[in-house]
């Protein structure tokens, strides 16, 4: 299958996907092993995809990430011990999703800098996951 990137931007996205290791470690340190495993799946899937992004790998990435984002939103809002972390996490998640939307629009428009929005998607998504873990431990 063909790499879907215009150039070598996948190397930046592969590196930014490593940010997902932060919620893995944070949840593990607070003995939330389920979330730690869940976020490890997120990390592995994203890193696998961006190592050589192809259309078939993209399907796997979308299914895994959508499922885990939805589950994180659910537990961060329904099963929470701390409302401030919920509000901050929700805000970060929506910013993250906006960045994903923008990266998609820019990619379709053939803007060679589309990946910068996707890096911000990784950054804000990671911060949202950290808030989700925080809702479970406070």
pLDDT tens-digit readout, 105-129? 999 999 999 999 999 999 999 999 9
Phi, psi (degrees; rounded to nearest 5) at 15: -65, -40
Please give the distance of CA 106 from its chain centroid, rounded to a whole number: 19
Rounded to an integer, what distance in angstroms lies between the CA atom of residue 117 and that of residue 109?
Answer: 13
DSSP single-letter state for residue 30: T
pLDDT tens per residue across span 28-63 = 999 999 999 999 999 999 999 999 999 999 999 999
Dihedral, 98, 99, 102, 103 alpha carbons, nearest 10: -150
Q: In the chain, what are the domain boundaries?
A: 10-137
Q: Exposure of 72 by Cβ count < 10 A (0-12 exposed, 13-18 middle, 19+ buried)?
A: buried
């Amino acid at each position: 299958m063909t790499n879907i990137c215009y150039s070598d931007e996948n190397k930046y996205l592969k590196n930014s996907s490593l940010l997902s290791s932060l919620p893995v470690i944070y949840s593990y340190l607070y003995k939330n092993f389920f979330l730690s495993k869940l976020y490890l799946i997120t990390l592995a899937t994203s890193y696998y995809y961006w190592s050589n992004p192809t259309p078939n790998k993209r399907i796997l990435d979308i299914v895994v990430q959508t499922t885990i984002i939805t589950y994180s939103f659910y537990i961060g809002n329904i099963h929470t011990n701390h409302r401030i972390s919920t509000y901050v996490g929700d805000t970060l998640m929506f910013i993250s999703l906006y960045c994903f939307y923008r990266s998609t629009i820019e990619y379709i428009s053939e803007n060679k800098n589309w990946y910068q929005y996707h890096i911000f998607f990784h950054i804000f998504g990671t911060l949202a996951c950290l808030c989700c873990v925080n809702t479970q431990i406070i």
